Structure 1
Amino acid sequence: MVSHIYKGIRKVTGLALSYIYTPYTKLIFYLNGVKFSKHLSINGFMKVFVTRRGQVTIGKKLLINSGHNHNIIGRQQKTIFWVEGKLIIGNNVGMSSVAIICNHDIEIGNDVTIGGNTVIYDTDFHSLDSTIRIDKSKDKTNAKKGKVTIKNRVFIGAHSTILKGVTIGENSIIGACSVITKDIPANEIWAGNPAKFIKRVK
């Protein structure tokens, strides 16, 4: 009996919150100067931080799952957009518990699916020179950066890491837990750490 009551409360609470997530995210986007379409579907609360020089443009039909109650596959976190560069997200993009850290330039095409707990970085964050890393201001400014481009209809498996300066070609698939350190041609499957070619997409 107690179990039924608990499950009922859980369902009602989840349903009530589902009506809050998208309007709340739209408000956060608006306050951060994000340009977005009305066709958003957000499950969970996001972390959004756009600096004064940051620019974010989002296309139609963005679907985001965020946090430990949505798309439960383990290692859940809030979806994070941290932007002080230029971030462009195309139409019909879906992502779950993803962290996009855009210091320079990240572009995501149309019809892209990004699996849970994936991270996308367009910077090394720190200099490779240990003498520069001592000075925090110099460390950040001397960190290497490179545009990340994810082209149309790419599928990225859960828990993957996309590093600076890479392009993932159209229709390509990235296996779960992969680390992408170099360009991936169109219509190919890559996986591993670092990711290697597996086979062509049929």
Structure 2
Amino acid sequence: MSLISLIFKSFRKIVYIATVGANNLCARCLFIGNNVAYKSFHTNGIPYVMVARGGKFSIGKNFAMNNGIKGNPIGCYERCTFFVDRGAVLTIGDNVGMSQAALICHKSITIGNNVKIGGGVCIYDTDFHSLDPVIRRNSEDLKNRAEKPVVIGNDVFIGAKSIILKGVTIGENSVIGAGSVVTKSVPANQIWAGNPARFIRSI
């Protein structure tokens, strides 16, 4: 290793150590300001957090998240996004890790313990808009959007850039292959992948 490379790596490590503390402090302020109930967490980077009045967001112990490319360099540059609408409930269990994920909760999203959520994963419990084109033209659009709870069981692994849609339950220990679009529930102990996701094999 050259001297220049050694100096660069040493400097980078010093900067990293300094920014980790600042990132955790900023995330803590965001959680407190949004009335998020949390036990313990670690973060690379700063997430986006928005909990509307009447929404509930809780996080278990040992939660870890990567925001941006630094914490998990797999080509996803986004921050983790947590949006909880009025009256909605977002629950994250213990020992959950995620990178650059978006959890958009208009009704209910429940994530169990020991879950791994890959880079760029999106979890939506709503269609966001009405499926009726006439309704979408007017102010009744958002009032007529479909919303159904999403449940992610214990020890689930969701591959990078997958999308989990409303009404889906993923059973414990199951694996979702990278880039999948999950439109229906997945039983426990199975691997699913594809668009739309389909059964690959049992674990």
Scaled by the length of structure 1, the TM-score of the pair is 0.94
SS of corresponding position for 2:49: strand
1:69-108 alignment, distance < 5 Å: 69-84=70-85, 85-108=88-111
Q: Distance in 1 between matches of 2:43 and 2:143?
A: 34
Look up the match of 1:180.
Answer: 182
Among candidates 134, 140, 147, match of residue 131 of structure 1: 134
Cα distance in 1 for partners of 2:185, 2:84 equals: 23
Contact 1:76 1:116 in 2 (8 A): no
Match of 1:31 in 2: 33
- How far apart are residue 5 of structure 1 and its match? 4.8
Secondary structure (helix, strand or coil) at the match of 1:27 reads helix
How far does the alpha carbon of each residue in 1:12-32 deviate from its partner, in whole angstroms, 9 at most, with x for none? 222210111112211110100
1:121 maps onto 2:137 in alignment = no
Unaligned runs of 5+ in 1: none
Task: Quote the RMSD (CA, aligned, Å).
Answer: 1.3
How far residue 4 of structure 1 moved from its aligned partner, in angstroms, is 5.2
Matched residues, percent identical? 49
Instruction: Deviation per CA, 1:147-190: give whole Å up to 9, x if none.
Output: 00001110100110000001000110000000000000000000
> Which amino acid in 1 is paired with 2:105?
C
State the 1:108 CA deviation. Answer: 0.3
Partner SS for 1:117: coil
Return the alpha-carbon distance in structure 2 between the equivalents of residues 12 and 43 of structure 1. 15
Normalising by structure 2, we get a TM-score of 0.94
Aligned to 2:142: 140
Write out per-residue CA displacement over residues 33-87 of structure 1, whole angstroms, 9 at most, x where no aligned residue. Answer: 10110x2111111100010021001111101111121101002210000111110
One-letter amino acid of the counterpart of residue 18, structure 2: A
Q: How many residues align?
A: 199
User: In 2, are the aligned partners of 1:68 and 1:77 still within 8 Å (CA)?
Assistant: yes
1:55 corresponds to: 56
- Flag as ranges the 4+ runs of structure 1 deviating above 6 A: none
1:124 & 1:115 partners in 2: Cα distance? 22
